[in-house]
């Protein structure tokens, strides 16, 4: 198959990734190519070692909140793409004006639902999916439940997957510090990880992109010292190295994470996850994932202590159940099924038209 993966204007697929969606797209595109398919990806930039072909139809960089003029220009540039060569289009980010332009392609399209069912997305997807050409995919049971109800559909579920080769298991038995890695803002809640580490008198390494500078200045910076360290926004390779001597990964997000890709990456590295049930999908039922329904950091103390008995092999075994190979195989199966249904439908329509009696 020849597949077009779409992110959006100004999106960088270079490391360090801005979010889990960018990491998802790069791993997915490379694995599709490894499986024998041709993949083009729409984005502003990508690393030189990426296997896919980068396409950037947007002649000017845009802001995070493009105005109506910018959206019209981007819509026109996207609509000018030569789409005939692709078997399907797969969207991964929420750009309503691009989805609208894509409707004119009359091409089977998929969109992976990486985000919760908020009012704006629900309204947009209801409008754009009325012709049946846009197919949805959920990344976790939590997201599927929300979107099934919002769109009144039984949406296919394909768990996110990771490349286990990027996250080699711990080779050292050292457990020198706690580790926290995510975007730094209020809903990701690194503040609770800091409180926990200080209470337990354990070192804490904090990694991630600062997306809320005021939050960082108020909740993180005053606590930085020899024990609590901010190590910056890291590449996957750098984070993997950092994980080698970590004792546990703290998942302290207080919003309902759609998936929890960072937690899965740490499990693949052999590190148990300790945190709130909001921070990982509720169906992650495994001894390597120690979570509480409480949103009180004090209730994590006992779980951190329990995590010391969890082996790296146990963590990695659970992570391997959601590999990039399994995820890609599931998407390819879905692609083929839907394409086959579409071809069958067109053949039935053609047969019905041919069987109609001719009027003189």
DSSP string across 54-92: EE---SS---SS--HHHHHHHHHHHHTS--TT-SEEEE-
In terms of domains, do 37 and 111 share one? yes
In terms of domains, do 266 and 306 share one? yes
DSSP H helical segments within 250-300, as ranges? 261-268
Low-confidence ranges of the chain (pLDDT < 50): 360
In terms of domains, do 58 and 132 share one? yes
The pLDDT, as a whole number, for residue 356 is: 63
Q: How many domains does the chain have?
A: 2
Can you give the CATH number for the domain in which 36 is found? 3.40.50.2000
The pLDDT, as a whole number, for residue 174 is: 85
Q: Which residues form the domain of 24?
A: 2-161+324-354
The pLDDT, as a whole number, for residue 100 is: 93
Residue-averaged pLDDT of the chain? 94
The pLDDT, as a whole number, for residue 294 is: 96
In terms of domains, do 183 and 310 share one? yes
The pLDDT, as a whole number, for residue 74 is: 95
The pLDDT, as a whole number, for residue 342 is: 83
The pLDDT, as a whole number, for residue 352 is: 55
In terms of domains, do 140 and 191 share one? no
Give the helix/strand (H/E) hosting 146: helix 141-151
In terms of domains, do 125 and 184 share one? no
In terms of domains, do 144 and 171 share one? no
Environment class of 340 (CB within 10 Å of its CB; exposed 0-12, middle 13-18, buried 19+): exposed
* Peptide linkage before 184 cis (omega within 30 of 0): no
In terms of domains, do 219 and 153 share one? no
**Contacts for 102 with CB less than 8 Å, ≥ 6 apart:** 6, 78, 89, 91, 109
In terms of domains, do 95 and 172 share one? no
The pLDDT, as a whole number, for residue 206 is: 98
In a domain, 360, yes or no: no
Of residues 305, 320, 298, the one with CA closest to residue 252: 298
In terms of domains, do 245 and 266 share one? yes
In a domain, 173, yes or no: yes
In terms of domains, do 73 and 131 share one? yes
Residue-wise pLDDT for 154-181, tens only, equals 999 999 999 999 999 988 788 999 999 9
pTM: 0.93
In terms of domains, do 124 and 18 share one? yes
Of residues 181, 182, 219, 215, the one with CA closest to residue 198: 219
Give me 297's structure tokens: 């950091």
């Amino acid at each position: 198959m020849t597949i077009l993966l779409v992110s959006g204007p100004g999106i960088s697929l270079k490391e360090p990734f801005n979010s889990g969606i960018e990491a998802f797209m790069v791993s997915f595109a490379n694995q599709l190519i490894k499986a024998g398919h041709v993949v083009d990806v729409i984005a502003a930039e990508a690393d030189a070692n990426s296997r896919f072909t980068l396409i950037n139809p947007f002649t000017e960089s845009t802001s995070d909140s493009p105005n109506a003029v910018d959206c019209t220009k981007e819509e026109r540039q996207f609509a000018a793409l030569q789409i005939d060569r692709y078997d399907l289009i797969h969207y991964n980010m929420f750009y309503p004006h691009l989805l609208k332009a894509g409707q004119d392609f009359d091409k089977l399209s998929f969109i992976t639902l990486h985000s919760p069912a908020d009012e704006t997305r629900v309204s947009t997807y209801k409008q754009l999916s009325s012709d049946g050409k846009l197919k949805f995919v959920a990344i976790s049971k939590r997201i599927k439940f929300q979107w099934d109800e919002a769109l009144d559909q039984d949406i296919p579920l394909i768990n996110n997957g990771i490349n286990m080769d990027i996250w080699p298991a711990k080779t050292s038995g050292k457990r020198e510090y706690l580790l926290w890695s995510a975007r730094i803002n209020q809903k990701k809640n690194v503040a609770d990880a800091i409180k926990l580490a200080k209470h337990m008198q354990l070192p804490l390494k904090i990694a991630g992109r600062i997306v809320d500078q005021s939050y960082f200045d108020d909740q993180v910076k005053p606590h930085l010292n020899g024990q609590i360290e901010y190590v910056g926004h890291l590449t996957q390779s750098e984070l993997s190295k950092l994980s080698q001597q970590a004792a546990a990964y703290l998942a302290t997000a207080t919003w309902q994470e759609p998936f929890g890709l960072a937690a899965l990456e740490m499990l693949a590295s052999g590190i148990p996850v300790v945190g709130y049930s909001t921070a990982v999908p509720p169906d992650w039922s495994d001894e390597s994932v120690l979570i509480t329904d409480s949103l009180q950091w004090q209730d994590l103390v006992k779980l951190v202590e329990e995590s010391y008995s969890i082996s790296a092999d146990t963590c990695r075994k659970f992570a391997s159940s959601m590999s990039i190979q399994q995820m890609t195989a599931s998407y390819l199966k879905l692609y083929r099924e839907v394409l086959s249904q579409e071809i069958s439908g067109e053949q039935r329509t053609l047969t019905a038209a041919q069987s109609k009696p001719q009027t003189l």
